[in-house]
Structures are given as C-alpha cells and as structure tokens.
C-alpha cells in the first residue's frame, strides 16, 4: 500500500463575482518534494495559496493535508496541522537580532503546542542551529533590520522552519534576489525539503529558477491547470509555450 500524499487537492474552485479565479484545480504533493506552481499574472496562484493556508474559504473542492480535511478551516488551525508559509514581502522584527527573531518564532511554535514555559531565549541553542542550517550562523547577533536582502530571505526561511512545517508554501522565495543568490537560496530550499521530508509548494515567475529546482511543475492559466509534470515535460508543452508567448513572457524551450 503506498502512503497517502502529504497534500491532496481536488476540484479546488474560487469565484469572485463573474471571475473564476481558480477552476477545478487538483494535484498531489509528496513529503520531500518540490512542486512549482507557475502561470502568468492573474492565473490564480495567490488565490490557491490563500485557500491552502486558510486565508480564503474555497467555493468548491477538497484539500487534505496529512490526511486531514482542511478546506475552510481558519489559518491558525491549518498552521497547527503543520502548514508554514513565506511571503513575497519579508516579515521580520527589524530591531530584534536575527537570533531573537528565530527564538520568538520557536517560542510561538512551542505556545502552539501548549508547552511553553519560560522565555524566548530558552530557545537560543535551537535558533542558532536553525540559523547555521540556512547559512546565517555568523549573523545571529546582528539586528535583522541591517541584513542584506538575500539574508532576509534566508531568515524568512528559518522563521518558517521554526514551526517545523510538514508543508511549506513559498510565495516567490527568490524574488528580487541577484541571480547567484537566487540559485543558492533555491538549492537550500531543495536541500531542506529533501532532508527534512517537508513538502514545498512554491510560486515563481523566473522560469529558469523553476526548471532548475522543481521536482514537478504545474501551470495555471486563468484559473485552470493546463499542464503538470516534470520540468522537461512542462518546458516542451506547446500549450504552456503558447500561454507564455501570448503574455509576452518567454523562456528557452529547448535549453
């Protein structure tokens, strides 16, 4: 008997008046897998993410996370089940140190489990281990407000990992980064997902980042899932190429 997927989505649908933002979308995601959700502006990616983490209730369909039916549950409940999310705009406490930011996230996670005694600094050793893992060990004592943008994105990943997610939703994790940093961050995400058997669903506009890092790719267009498969299969899919070319977005189909 094969294990149930970490995330199982079926018939997911959301309408805004006359616009169907997400139309009958279905897919699976396994633990340890990196799945990219791509598509032109307005394709429905953010709406999908918002339904997966409980910010929006779907109009139709089912979402099962680790076997639990989560469609329509509030965000806090879904977070408790083990869904973490990073956002396009990094959210850190600027005046606190890098380590204190992670200690606070660890404290918050412990509070979620109802086992919090003491203060955030009780989590210092754990925070430092997490910061080492994302390559921020040497910056642990610096104020978060002075970090370079690439390091803020690493801190964001550490904050998301502090709640030990089973499923991590990442909104354009590498947006705004220089190309070299982008590659390094996505490698780190891939490593983290595989070694910690965390399922990662990410959106990304840069198709090179997608094709290099994702295990599988799905493509949305006007709310519909138009393609899903390996990076190589999706890259050469004529409908995907047409959608991207039609929107003035291109990638090297044969590269």
**DSSP codes, 138-192:** GGTTSBGGG--HHHHHHHHHHHHHHT--SEEEEESTTTT--HHHHHHHHHHHHHH
Residues that contact ligand ATP, how many (by CB under 6 A)? 11
Contact between 44 and ligand ATP (CB under 6 A)?
yes
Choose between 100 and 204: whose C-beta lies nearer to ligand ATP. 204
Among 6, 25, 43, 243, binds ligand ATP (CB under 6 A): 43
**Contact residue for ligand ATP among 2, 41, 95, 115 (CB under 6 A):** 41
Q: Does residue 47 belong to the site contacting ligand ATP (CB under 6 A)?
A: yes
State which of positions 145-164 bind ligand ATP (CB under 6 A): none
- Of 40-48, 113-121, 158-166, 184-192: span binding ligand ATP (CB under 6 A): 40-48
Residue 85 touching ligand ATP (CB under 6 A): no
**Which of residues 16 and 149 has its CB atom nearest to ligand ATP in the complex?**
16
Per-residue burial over 142-178, b if 16 or more Cβ lie within 10 Å, else e, is ebbeebeebbbbbbbbbbbbbbebbbbbbbbbbbebe
For every residue of 10-42, DSSP letters joined together read EEEEEEETTEEEEEEEEEEE-TT-EEEEE-STT
Residues that bind ligand ATP (CB under 6 A): 16, 19, 21, 39, 41-47
């Amino acid at each position: 008997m094969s294990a149930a997927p970490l995330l199982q989505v079926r018939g997911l649908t959301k309408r805004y008046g006359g616009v169907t933002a997400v139309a009958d979308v279905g897919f699976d995601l396994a633990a340890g897998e990196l799945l990219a959700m791509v598509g032109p502006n307005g394709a429905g990616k953010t709406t999908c993410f918002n339904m997966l983490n409980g910010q929006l209730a779907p109009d139709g369909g089912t979402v099962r996370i680790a076997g639990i039916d989560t469609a329509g549950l509030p965000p806090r409940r879904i977070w408790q089940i083990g869904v973490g999310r990073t956002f396009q705009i990094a959210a850190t406490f600027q005046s606190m140190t890098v380590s204190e930011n992670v200690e606070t996230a660890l404290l918050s996670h412990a509070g979620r489990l109802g086992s919090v005694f003491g203060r955030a600094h009780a989590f210092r050793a754990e925070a430092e281990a997490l910061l080492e893992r994302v390559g921020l060990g040497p910056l642990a004592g610096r104020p978060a407000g002075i970090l370079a943008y690439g390091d803020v994105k690493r801190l964001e990943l550490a904050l998301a990992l502090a709640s030990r997610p089973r499923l991590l939703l990442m909104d354009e994790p590498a947006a705004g980064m220089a190309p070299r940093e982008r590659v390094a961050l996505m490698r780190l995400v891939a490593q983290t997902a595989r070694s910690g058997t965390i399922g990662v669903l990410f959106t990304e506009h840069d198709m090179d980042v997608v094709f290099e890092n994702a295990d599988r790719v799905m493509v949305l267009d006007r709310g519909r899932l138009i393609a899903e498969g390996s990076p190589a299969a999706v890259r050469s899919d004529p409908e995907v190429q047409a959608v991207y070319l039609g929107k003035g977005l291109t990638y090297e189909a044969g590269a």
